[in-house]
DNA sequence: CAGTCATATGACCACATAGTCATACGACTC
DNA sequence: GAGTCGTATGACTATGTGGTCATATGACTG
């Protein structure tokens, strides 16, 4: 976590530093991320960085556990679902919010994806990631149980299996599908700023419905 | 690719080197993998390793593009599906073969998973991975089209979306589900050699059926 | 203006580790 | 036994980079 000095800096300077760090950590895996790039891009000296943060791991941890979640919250907002919403509406809302964020902030998305892939490196981060997973899991299981009780789900569904797939589908999986729809690789898509913007709201919602439809009743063709 | 010298070595020595390399590359990401560990574990000198391979990247590439596929083929074998098989039988067979391999060879599985996660590092490997993906994709799409033509699929299914999910489900996703069934994290599961053996053939097949059932007709509860 | 404090600096150090090379070994030939 | 050829060795070099520290700047105080 940042040292007090960091909080005393001007908003603009903090921003320069954060931007530089995000750019670096989102473009290469943690082990390859280079603090010299960060300080150069931020226009500060190496010594200063160590006046603000405890080190590389500290900076990375702060970005992922404090800064990124804040940005995400700010961007998505905690939209309460309408009172009588079906679990499909709730899921759809979550899916769409996630994809909209990815479209609006491809760099932050890349940062998050990188984290998913090498969180095992920093034991402290592994714990963070485990908690995230557990929270998402609990939320999904609760939702699915509710759905099953209301008869909104296919009756033959194994909830645990479904929750596992939805967890993936809500995150990376959805982005993969998007990339697929554009004929690209996930990384290619996130690296090209313009391309995601070509997706229409309509395409997006259609894609989301195709995903959720897997868990709803089929049309029942024999 | 290995230099000619490597092929002249005794089977046993080649084996020691390969085992050491697999152990290293499967336990840490490529950037962190240390050739000194490899030579020590293999009981050879650093110079020798460079007599056998062009360098770190060369060794890694060979493991993933030649050695691992061979081992996989040997372990799974190219079982032709029975002539009149439904796509569900074919998929089930593929799923089960994949999981059996993971159970039998957790270290090789870890190696493969690591590769999936940092293939972007080595441009040459990115190409390899792209080809794998494309091949898997083509196979799945073909299978699904066949299934749709025969009416074995839910009629409302978007084939492209389904193929995307199946691609994940056949690989990492299936392993994730397995770990979930054991109450573990994917990496925890692969790191503990004993634990996977506790799964019965029955549990395994049941899990696989739960996954494929997502794409089949639901029981149709309103 | 002297003193003090927070902040800034970048040359520098410490260390890890990919890759090299001069040298040695040993089997096989003549 | 001298020559030669494929192989083995590990000390060494080159490089990249996380982290440190003596020194500086400059604002504010009395």
Domain boundaries, chain B: 4-61, 79-213
Interface test mutation site (partner A, options B132, B148, B221, max chain A beta carbons within 10 A) = B221
Query: pLDDT-based confidence at B220, cuts 50/70/90?
Result: very low
Q: Do B168 and A173 touch (CB under 8 A)?
A: yes
Percent of chain B whose predicted confidence (pLDDT) is above 70: 96
Q: Answer whether any strand D atom is within 7 A of the Cβ of A47.
A: yes
What pLDDT is recorded for position A217?
60
Q: What is the pLDDT of residues B16-39, one digit of tens each?
A: 999 999 999 999 989 899 999 999
Q: Name the residue among A118, A160, A207 with its Cβ closest to that of B29.
A: A118
Q: What is the C-alpha separation between B97 and B170, in angstroms, rounded? A: 10
In this structure, are residues B70 and B134 in contact, taking their beta carbons and an 8 Å threshold? no
- Model confidence at A105: pLDDT above 70: yes
A164 contact residues in B (CB cutoff 8 A): 173, 176-177, 180
Chain A neighbors of B130, CB-CB under 8 A: 185
Confirm if A214 and B198 have CB atoms less than 8 A apart: no
Question: CB-CB: which of A31, A162, A220 is closest to B29?
Answer: A31
Give CA angle at A216 (A213, A218), nearest 5°. 85
Residue A66 in tokens? 């404090």
Fold of A4-72: Tetracycline Repressor; domain 2 (1.10.357)
For residue A8, say whether its CB is under 7 Å from any atom of strand D: no
Q: Which residues of A touch B185 (CB under 8 A)?
A: 130
Residue A218 confidence (pLDDT) above 70: no
Give me the mean pLDDT over the B205-219 stretch. Answer: 75
Instruction: Give chain D positions with protein CB within 7 A.
Output: 6-12, 16-22
Which fold would CATH assign to domain B4-61? Answer: Arc Repressor Mutant, subunit A (1.10.10)
Tokens coding B108 = 């090789």
Enumerate chain B positions whose Cβ falls within 8 A of a Cβ in A: 29, 31-32, 117-118, 120-121, 130, 151, 153-158, 160-162, 164-165, 168-169, 173, 176-177, 180-181, 185, 187, 207, 210-211, 213-222
> Within 13 A of B83's CA, how many CA atoms are on the CB side?
0
Architecture of domain B79-213: Orthogonal Bundle (1.10)
Q: Which of B31, B120, B221 sits opposite A154 (nearest CB)?
A: B221
Predicted pLDDT of residue B222: 25
The alpha helices in chain B, defined as continuous H runs, are 4-8, 11-27, 35-42, 46-52, 56-62, 68-76, 87-104, 106-118, 123-149, 159-168, 174-181, 186-191, 201-213
B43: left (phi over 0), alpha (psi -120 to 50) or beta: left
Q: Does this chain's domain B4-61 share its CATH topology with B79-213? A: no
Q: What angle (nearest 5°) sits at the alpha carbon of residue B74, between those of residues B8 and B9? A: 10
Q: Which residues contact B69 (CB under 8 A, 6 or more apart)?
A: none
Burial A190-219 (b: 16+ CB within 10 A, else e): beeeebbeeeeeeebeebbebbbbbbbbbe
The model's pLDDT over B153-162, given as tens digits with 9 standing for 90+, comes to: 877 788 988 8
Q: Which pLDDT tens digit goes with each residue over A132-181?
A: 889 999 999 999 999 889 888 877 788 988 899 889 988 888 888 888 88
Summarised one tens digit per residue, pLDDT across range A44-67 is: 999 999 999 999 999 999 999 999
Distance of alpha carbon A3 from alpha carbon A17, whole angstroms: 14
Instruction: For residue A161, give the chain B residue with the closest CA.
Output: B177
Of A180, A200, A78, A38, nearest in space to B165 by CA: A180
- Percentage of residues in chain A with pLDDT exceeding 70? 96
Alpha-carbon distance of B13 to B16, in angstroms, equals 5
């Amino acid at each position: 976590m940042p040292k007090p000095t960091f909080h005393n800096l001007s908003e603009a300077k903090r921003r320069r530093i954060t931007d530089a760090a995000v750019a670096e950590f989102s473009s290469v895996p943690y082990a390859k991320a280079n603090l010299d790039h960060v300080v150069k891009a931020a226009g500060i000296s190496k010594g200063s960085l160590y006046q603000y943060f405890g080190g590389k791991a500290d900076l990375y941890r702060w970005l992922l556990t404090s800064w990124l979640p804040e940005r995400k919250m700010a961007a998505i907002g905690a939209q309460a679902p309408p009172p009588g919403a079906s679990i499909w509406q709730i899921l759809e809302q979550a899916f769409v919010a996630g994809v909209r964020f990815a479209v609006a902030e491809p760099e932050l998305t890349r940062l998050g994806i990188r984290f998913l892939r090498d969180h095992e490196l920093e034991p402290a981060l592994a714990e963070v990631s485990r908690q995230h997973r557990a929270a998402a899991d609990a939320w999904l299981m609760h939702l699915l149980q509710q759905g099953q009780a209301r008869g909104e789900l296919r009756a033959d569904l194994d909830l645990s299996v479904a929750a596992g797939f939805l967890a993936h589908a809500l995150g990376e999986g959805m982005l993969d599908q998007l990339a697929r729809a554009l004929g690209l690789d996930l990384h290619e898509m996130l690296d090209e700023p313009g391309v995601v913007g070509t997706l229409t709201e309509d395409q997006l919602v259609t894609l989301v419905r195709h995903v959720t439809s897997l868990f709803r009743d089929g049309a029942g063709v024999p």
